[in-house]
Structure 1
Amino acid sequence: MKKPRVIFEEYVMPHYRVPFFERLSKEVELLVVLSKDKKVDGLHDVKENLPFASVRLIEEKKGPFHPELINTIREYKPDVLISFGTALRTYTLDKNTYSAFKEMGLRTLWMGCDGYMVRNMYVEIIKNLLPWRICREIKDIIAHRKVDGFITYSNHTRRYLHITKCVPLKKIFVAQNAIDTKILSDAYKEFTKAGNTRGNNIAFAGRLSERKRVDILIKAFAEAKIPADINLLIIGEGSQEEKLKKLVTELNIENRIKFLGPIYKDEDMAKALFDASIFVMPGLGGLGFNTAMAVGLPIIYTHADGTEEDILENGINGWYFNGTVEDLKNKVEIAFSDVEKLPSMGQKSKNLITNTYNLDNMVKSYMQTIRTLI
């Protein structure tokens, strides 16, 4: 069977996305389009030695996201263009661009985690009818009708698109967001076989940006009534780092919080997380869950990018908190009130990531969707 030709449009190339595109490139003739000189707070953009074809284009703030993309499409002649919602919305609403897509027989696939901040779909419908939003909503509906398919990270986004944006369910496919966890899992097994004792600390891994709300975690940790030998491990970098360190100093807990910086090698990440017995995601996140679950950690979480609704269950492999410092403090105290439960809860996390929400299944979902479109 002939391999489909696919252009996949992105902003940047995070290190954790490289394995996904490498595997996808074995199934399709793939070209990944990335932005030149794009900076994302706390995110490392891999620019060299990528194991798949890629091109960097100039990104514009207004108009078509990558103005040169249409020329790249004409040269590469893909069967399918996969892009995030904000870009495809622009392309489909631009008469000339959309006409060119149709003339070339190009199929479009809208991907992402739209609506991750929305909790009540029907309240959102009412909000969409407000005078200052209705014009944009009409344009959204027009754009959605012109797109050939949607592939979401979670069932939450699937429901959001269907209920609030009137997208037919038959056009929406789910590819659960995943990373390659083999190295993490293998390292975890080696640590366990060697008879190492897991640490009793709390860990966070992710960008130190405002949306991650790490300040909430630090405040809750400072207030929590837990043993004094429990530390908070913060893995990552970003614009909020100095502000967070200042907060730690103000709370006088410097001796209990360790800023470990960014960790890009999975072996090193597994080692760092093996020193913890609980992982906390205090704000927006997604793949941080997968990383922690791959090394057998239960998760304290709040509303994130929608994937948490699929992979986490309150009281089973983690604890949900309502976004406040007080409730996060309470959940930390509950977790450490019965530490004997933590390994079994963590094992449930690991089983889910290893057997269900893994990279193989994500690639399979993409391939099934691409085949359906063409």
Structure 2
Amino acid sequence: MLKGITVLQIGKYYPPQKYGGMETVLSLLCSGLARAGAEVTALVSNRGPGTTVENIDGVKVVRAGSIGEVLSTSLCPGMPLLIKRLQADILHIHLPNPLAVLSYFLALPKGKLVVSYHSDIVRQSRVYRLYRPLLRRFLEKAERIVVATPCHIRYSPLLTQLKEKCVVVPFGIDRKWSTPSKHVLRKACQVKERYGVPLILFVGRLVYYKGLEYLIEAMKQIDGKALIIGTGPSEKKLKRTIQRAQVRDKVQLLGQVEEEDLLAHYYACDVFVLPSVEQSEAFGIVQLEAMACGKPVVSTNLRSGVPYVNRHGITGLVVEPRDPQSLADAVNLLLKDRGLRERLGEHGREQVRTRYCADRMVEEYFVLYEEVLG
């Protein structure tokens, strides 16, 4: 379908470097497009000063040398020149990424511009006020602005002014999450034996907007064990919070784990919790991973796509952010009612199968690219 089309995807990072939700979506989209016959190049930042090129699943991955990072933005002096050299029919840029926006204007490439708007910039509000006019001009140049949920448009002050350009293409995840091997299921049993049951799971970067301090506080009232998978700048602070709350026997920080072990922990848990507190959590792709494994999700009522993905009373429960009591009540309700857990988990699995699978995401981008190219 896409044979002969060249696509340049520009993101912040590409797996296995800084593997988060944005990187997951980027890699799944790139590999899916490559399998469909497109010539795909992913241009991202490297972790060091050298520029490297490698092939991953049929995708040419160019990591531009970086001299450091400021305000969560990598500094890659060679990015504009690389964009100019890597000409393509479709230039697909994933935001937020101020480096890519500035580099675009410096390079002025010829390809059709498609933008994936993953989230607003929330934390650096002062700098954002200076950056916003450039971002607005950039978005006006785009043929299409793609968002993962209608909430991204509704709650974004910028996108509400550009909604005629916006289209919704839901994120999708790999089918591997819903089809575990026997080895993974054996590992899941070992996780249960090691920690006991019931198990509450969190997966994600340990950063300010994840709201993990509220989960730790809630664990005082939950008869179970919380397993926290991930690393990040908040790790030391969270260790102090766990000690101060006197829940060291209930909360375990497991750090980063291998993909197979991660899948085993999903299947071992009884409830998945995403207690985020800021709009920076724009979608929560880990919710899909938990849902694909048949697990009910407890998430927060943010002005973002998070409660759109986890439907209250359908795939899980939604509570107000920064409310450890409501969080504890929701988790306890699920732990006490196995039938409710299974019903919500099955609905979640069905949602992923029909709406949030990677194959469907890639197919919808096929259609979008064809429309843009005419």
Corresponding residue of 1:54 = 61
Q: 1:155 to 1:59 in 2, by over 3 A?
A: farther
Corresponding residue of 2:242 = 248
Trace 1:318-329 onto structure 2 (pairs within 5 A). 318-324=316-322, 325-329=324-328
Corresponding residue of 2:19 = none
Corresponding residue of 1:21 = 30
Trace 1:1-374 onto structure 2 (pairs within 5 A). 2-15=3-16, 16-17=24-25, 18-27=27-36, 28-37=38-47, 50-51=56-57, 52-59=59-66, 66-85=76-95, 86-87=98-99, 89-91=101-103, 94=105, 97=107, 100-101=108-109, 104=110, 106-115=111-120, 139-160=134-155, 164-169=159-164, 171-180=165-174, 182-187=175-180, 199-222=197-220, 224=221, 226-227=222-223, 230-265=224-259, 267-283=260-276, 284=281, 286-303=284-301, 306-324=304-322, 325-374=324-373
- The CA deviation at 1:116 is 8.4
**Which runs of no fewer than 5 residues in structure 2 stay unpaired?**
17-23
Residue identity opposite 2:15 in structure 1: P
- The CA deviation at 1:136 is 6.0
Residue identity opposite 1:300 in structure 2: V
Q: Tell me, yes or no, if the aligned pair for 2:48 and 2:65 is still in contact at 8 Å.
A: no
* C-alpha distance after superposition, 1:26-75 (max 9, x if no partner): 23211100112179xxxxxx997622201121357799975434433443
Q: 1:357 to 1:305 in 2, by over 3 A?
A: farther
Q: Tell me, yes or no, if the aligned pair for 1:203 and 1:232 is still in contact at 8 Å.
A: yes
Q: Tell me, yes or no, if the aligned pair for 2:153 and 2:160 is still in contact at 8 Å.
A: no
CA distance in 2, matches of 1:364, 1:160: 27
CA distance in 2, matches of 1:196, 1:59: 43
* C-alpha distance after superposition, 1:160-219 (max 9, x if no partner): 4697542142x2222212221x22211178888999798532111111222212111111
- RMSD value, Cα: 3.7
SS at match of 2:179: helix
CA distance in 1, matches of 2:184, 2:133: 55
- The CA deviation at 1:114 is 2.9
SS at match of 2:14: coil
- The CA deviation at 1:141 is 3.8
- Using structure 1 for the length normalisation, give the TM-score: 0.78
When Rg is computed on C-alpha atoms for both structures, the one with the higher figure is 1
Counting matched residue pairs gives: 343
Residue identity opposite 2:354 in structure 1: N
Q: Tell me, yes or no, if the aligned pair for 1:116 and 1:306 is still in contact at 8 Å.
A: no
- The CA deviation at 1:137 is 5.4
Q: 1:75 to 1:309 in 2, by over 3 A?
A: same
**Higher-RCO chain (CA-CA 8 Å, sequence separation at least 6):** 1
Q: Tell me, yes or no, if the aligned pair for 2:14 and 2:44 is still in contact at 8 Å.
A: yes
Q: Tell me, yes or no, if the aligned pair for 1:231 and 1:257 is still in contact at 8 Å.
A: yes
**Which runs of no fewer than 5 residues in structure 1 stay unpaired?**
40-45, 119-127
Query: How high is the sequence identity, in percent, across the aligned residues?
Result: 20
* C-alpha distance after superposition, 1:257-286 (max 9, x if no partner): 222322232x32232122211110011361
Q: Tell me, yes or no, if the aligned pair for 2:187 and 2:264 is still in contact at 8 Å.
A: no
- The CA deviation at 1:294 is 1.0
- Using structure 2 for the length normalisation, give the TM-score: 0.78
SS at match of 1:329: helix
- The CA deviation at 1:115 is 3.8
- The CA deviation at 1:157 is 1.6
SS at match of 1:288: helix
CA distance in 1, matches of 2:229, 2:307: 24
Residue identity opposite 1:24 in structure 2: L
Q: 1:315 to 1:279 in 2, by over 3 A?
A: same
CA distance in 2, matches of 1:351, 1:164: 30
Residue identity opposite 2:141 in structure 1: K
* C-alpha distance after superposition, 1:269-320 (max 9, x if no partner): 2321222111100113611111111111111101468332432211221111
SS at match of 2:176: helix
